[in-house]
Amino acid sequence: MTRTLFLCIKIALVVAVAIWLANRPGAVSIEWLGWRLDNAPVGLLMLVALLVAAAAALIYRFWRFLYRAPESIGRKLQEGRTRRGYKALNQGMLAVAAGDADEAKRWARKAETLLDEPPLTLLISAQAAQLGGDDQAAKRYFTAMLDSEETRFLGLRGLVIQALRDGDDDAALDYARKAQTLRPKTPWVLTTLFELSERGGDLEAADRALKLATRLKALPAADARGKRVALLLERAEQADGQGQRDRALGFARDAHKQAPDSLAAVLLLARLAVAAGRGREAQKVIERTWARTPHAGLAELYRAADGKADALGQVKRMAKLAAAKPHDPESHLAQAEACLVAELWGEARRHIDAAIGDARPSARVCRLMARLEEAENDDTAAARAWLERAGTAPADPTWVCASCGAVAAAWGAHCRVCDSFDSLAWGLPPGLAAPEQPVLDAEVIEDARVKA
């Protein structure tokens, strides 16, 4: 409504001006190229001037259209080409996500033909080649991406992945370090630097990368803490192997401080303390841990922490340690071991029976009973029967890899089967429990004696 009103006002103004000019007095005479016009009204002359101006404007616009037509047509064609190129790029990315290597390559070639944007086309071409298993082409594309500042970081990431696929950890580490110079706080760069440095034995560099990754929260807090403890323990073992006992003990203390409940940290700290002649430190650490996690290795180190104690003295020391958790089977077995050495046969048998309780004796308990039968009664037949039963008894707890299920006799930073880092935990091996079997009684032992 408002627009219509304004249009009417404009038309009325134009008409009023035209009438006003037509009624103005005066006349105009024109002589041009032998032609003469006399007494022409001023209004008519102005109307002719307006018509000439309008015609000139139209001619100018037509000429401008003809002049700019090639550029305009070229721009329109380029826009269509670019639109089709981005569509091909999008389809190529979808093909990569779907895992269709042939389709991804086809769209990548089309996008490369249509688009004059090497950063984008190089990336999709590299991913398509990588998906299709053409490692050489993928490496060539990723290397070409290093020439552009816009794509250098993505190219380095692709080269890291490619080097890891090829099993070339040194090259992957070199690329990761270059990527860190471009973006030092990127999470995947820090975690990759940690993993490769640790795997290559450069534990100090791995420690730096892990600290930065932890500070930037590139890893979940629990994972970062576990890896930090495992790395400190690995550094402690490395320093101990190089004869740097004080440094090794320092790393072990740091690990224990980070994770007081870590059985691996306690075992290593106690072992290093005993080796360094710091028996009292080892005893205190073991006594604090025993109340939470009794362990045969801790009992062994507790005995070694005071090498001057005689057999009866060790019995008393084991009783003191077991008092922290008196009813646990490990407490009874630790005392049984000490009683066997001290030749206190009755006490040893009592503690072994208490450790068994209503459960089936484990392989370790069977071996301990075999030692007792042979040491107390010189009964080789009974000892052999217990040893035979040990072969089919329920498995004892051990170090188990959470990644592949492999078992290990001692803790290590890496699983020896799958090489995963910080994956060993104390527990029962999966699927190794023995089937139900009757308790070994006097009749079974007698049969063994007869066979002997």
pLDDT tens digits for range 12-45: 776 676 666 666 666 666 666 667 666 666 666 6
In a domain, 19, yes or no: yes
> Could you give the 3-state DSSP secondary structure of residue 361?
coil
Q: Give the pLDDT score at 393.
A: 87
User: Residue 167 pLDDT > 50, yes or no?
Assistant: yes
User: For the chain, what is the mean pLDDT?
Assistant: 80
Which of 222, 160, 152, 162 lies closest to 195 in space, CA to CA? Answer: 160
Q: Give the pLDDT score at 231.
A: 95
Helices 221-241 and 187-199, axial angle in degrees (round to 10):
30
User: Residue 348 pLDDT > 70, yes or no?
Assistant: yes
In a domain, 15, yes or no: yes
- Residue 174, token pair as written in the block: 């070199």
Residues 190, 209: Cα–Cα separation, whole Å: 6
Model confidence at 443, pLDDT cuts 50, 70, 90, reads very low
In a domain, 65, yes or no: yes
In a domain, 444, yes or no: no
User: Residue 227 pLDDT > 70, yes or no?
Assistant: yes
In a domain, 134, yes or no: no
- Pairing, β 398-401 against β 27-32: unpaired
pTM of the model: 0.70
In a domain, 16, yes or no: yes
Round the CA-based radius of gyration of the chain to a whole number and report it. Answer: 44
> Could you give the 3-state DSSP secondary structure of residue 407?
strand
Model confidence at 81, pLDDT cuts 50, 70, 90, reads low
Residues 431, 429: Cα–Cα separation, whole Å: 6
Q: Which domain holds residue 8?
A: 2-73
Q: What is the percent of the chain with per-residue pLDDT over 90, rounded to a whole number?
A: 39
Q: What is the mean pLDDT of residues 48-63?
A: 75
In eight-state DSSP terms, residue 328 is: S
Q: What is the mean pLDDT of residues 388-399?
A: 88
Q: Are 146 and 155 in contact (CB under 8 A)?
A: yes
In a domain, 9, yes or no: yes
In a domain, 350, yes or no: no
